[in-house]
């Protein structure tokens, strides 16, 4: 079973009100609770031999949504709370420049994905077969993840992530997110051992 992690240390970051973050933590805790409930319910159904039912199918579909809702919030909160810029000469900075031409070009793409209409996530993914980095749009929580890739930087663009503080000004929220990225955490997530990029 999963336990909700404590992210209360983030309550003082600039550009995010305490109320917004507290609400966000509560939503996250709901995903953890529901993930546990679904796992238990699906185990029961399997044990009872009732897997050929609509209830099983719906709960099985739901698990991807709740599980990713839980896990993506953990990545998101953990890559927040930083106050130093990306080290452009570090492994992540160099890989970004290699794959996007420059940091600015990468940031433009990441922010533009965040401005797309709809609710979901923007994720900088590392393809661990070759080290290439991509910015992906994830619809809601579960649609659009590249198989087998590694999430390096995760940004929530559900309305609950910004509307209380920024209303419809999603671009301002994205700027606030960028000011608070914990780049060391993002860089530490890289999985592929890199030769000189
Ligand atoms: Fe969220």
> For 144-160, how does the pLDDT look when each residue is reduced to its tens digit (9 = 90+)?
999 999 999 999 999 99
pTM of this prediction exceeds 0.75 = yes
The answer to whether the beta carbons of residues 170 and 157 sit under 8 Å apart is: yes
Write b or e for each residue in 152-180: b if 16 or more Cβ atoms lie within 10 A of its Cβ, otherwise e: bbbbbbbeebbeebbeeebeebbebbbeb
Which residues make up the environment of ion ligand 1, defined by Cβ < 5 Å? 156, 158, 161
DSSP-assigned beta bridge partners for residue 181: 80
**What is the per-residue pLDDT across 84-103, written as a single tens digit (0 to 9) for each?**
899 999 999 999 999 999 99
Rounded Cα distance between 52 and 56, Å, is 7
On the question of pLDDT at 196 being above 90, the answer is: no
Are 191 and 150 within 8 A, CB to CB?
A: yes
- 168 CA to middle of ligand 1, Å? 16
């Amino acid at each position: 079973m999963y336990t909700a992690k404590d992210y209360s240390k983030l309550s003082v970051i600039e550009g995010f009100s305490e109320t917004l973050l507290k609400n966000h933590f509560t939503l996250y805790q709901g995903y953890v609770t529901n993930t546990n409930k679904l796992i238990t319910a699906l185990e029961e159904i399997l044990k009872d031999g009732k897997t050929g039912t609509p209830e099983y199918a719906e709960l099985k579909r739901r698990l991807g949504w709740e599980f990713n809702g839980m896990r993506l919030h953990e990545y998101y909160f953990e890559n927040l709370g930083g106050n130093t810029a990306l080290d452009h000469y570090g492994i992540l900075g160099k890989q970004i420049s290699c794959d996007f031409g420059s940091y600015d070009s990468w940031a433009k793409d990441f922010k533009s994905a965040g401005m797309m209409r709809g609710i979901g996530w923007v994720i900088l993914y590392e393809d661990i077969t070759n080290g290439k980095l991509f910015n992906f749009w994830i619809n809601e929580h579960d649609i659009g993840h590249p198989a087998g890739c590694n999430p390096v930087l995760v940004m929530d663009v559900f309305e609950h992530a910004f509307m209380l503080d920024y209303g419809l000004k999603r671009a301002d929220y994205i700027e606030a997110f960028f000011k608070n990225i914990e780049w060391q955490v993002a860089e530490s997530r890289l999985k592929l051992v890199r030769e000189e990029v």
